[in-house]
Amino acid sequence: MSQSLLADASVRLEQALKYVSISDDAFSRLKYPKASLSVSIPVRMDDGSLRIFQGYRVRYDDTRGPGKGGVRYHPSVSLDEVQSLAFWMTFKCALLNLPFGGAKGGITVNPKELSRAELERLSRGYIEAIADFIGTDVDILAPDVYTNEMIMGWMMDQYSIIRRRISPGVVTGKPLTMGGSQGRDTATATGAFHVMNTVLPKFGQIPEKTTIAVQGFGNAGAQIAQLLNKAGYKVVAVSDSQGGIYASQGLDIPSIRQYKQNHLTVTGVYCKDSVCNIIDHEVITNEQLLTLDVDVLIPAALEKQITEKNAHDVKAKYIFEVANGPITSSADAILNTKGIHVFPDILVNAGGVTVSYLEWVQNRNGLYWSLTEVQERLKVRMIEETEVVWRISQEFGVNMRTSAYINALNRLNEAMSAKGTRDYYQGI
């Protein structure tokens, strides 16, 4: 991801600005991140050598509350990428009406090349480098691409060592035994499921007659596939980084998840090993999955999967963005022309940050909720905000992405105006 992605994300903002009256102050503040940090992280490797890794943390805006955003480990991580993701988080938190601003972090690394001990040293070294930049009331971390609850636990522990006090609220997505929340590990998928169940009936789609393809079979993709499968939807295709499979009569998602966990791939799931049922299927690529003739397409992998190069070939009627930024703005225009309904990432995948908020609240109060309580709070929040975005969409006659940005912009503008703007000081 490059600087152009932030410009691409800003195109969506420009579309929403046609329907929102915001102060010049708010517009100016949203152009730039509040603070960006680049750090070098020295790590002693298992063979005794020293490697230096580049790490980043960006706090884009904190008008509505402390920064909130994940930390990703990936070879493509750059300051530009992290800044773009922090920009998205700003709008996502405002859209869900959470008392957070937007932030993001990352390390340029292929975590698959590191041992567990090296991974721990890298994670603790990252916190050593950014400790003065984060905090329970300043900037709260969470898991993202190739980070998990174990890594979050290391980070929280290291921050507590530095501060000489237990500080569970600085990191969410932690292990339950370290102050994590019930339901956090499945929150992104569960939130997306509630969004889909809220809007698909508005188009007359019923589970038994709705075919679905899921690109990306990591944590969120696998979980949303299983939730949909259990609810009666027909999941006909899934893929991971190595390829995918398609079966028109539907896939056995639990078997695929088990095979994936054991073999780290989905492409062989129906053609070898006794764990799977033998059914007619096709082996397909990630690119082929995106153009399947299905009702619903769920990009749950990485950014920029649907671009102007392949948007014309997309046949799905509805797209739900479980990944961050899987569709470029130029592709959006093509999909709109084709009459394809796109439901944006800042709404669809906001279940993760919503339960992160619930975890943060529990950490601060020292009172922890059951899984049922957490899931009910998540369900209510996701359905309420989805209905708000739908009403705005219908009111202005705009697509759901523009509607989501209209709502988020209004909330950000209200928060910024509460501190005083040019109009206030000039008595306008």
Exposure pattern of 413-428 as b/e (b: 16+ CB <10 Å)? bebbbeeebeeeeeee
- Where do the H-state alpha helices sit in 50-104? 79-95
CA distance linking residue 305 with residue 290, whole number of Å: 8
Token pair for residue 148?
A: 């998990």
Residue count (the chain): 428
* Cβ proximity of 109 and 122 under 8 Å: yes
Residues 6+ apart with CB under 8 A from 53: 40, 41, 43, 107, 108, 109, 122, 125
CA distance linking residue 119 with residue 423, whole number of Å: 51
* Cβ proximity of 74 and 44 under 8 Å: no
Q: How many CB atoms lie within 10 A of CB 38?
A: 13
Residues that are catalytic: 104
Radius of gyration of the chain (CA): 21
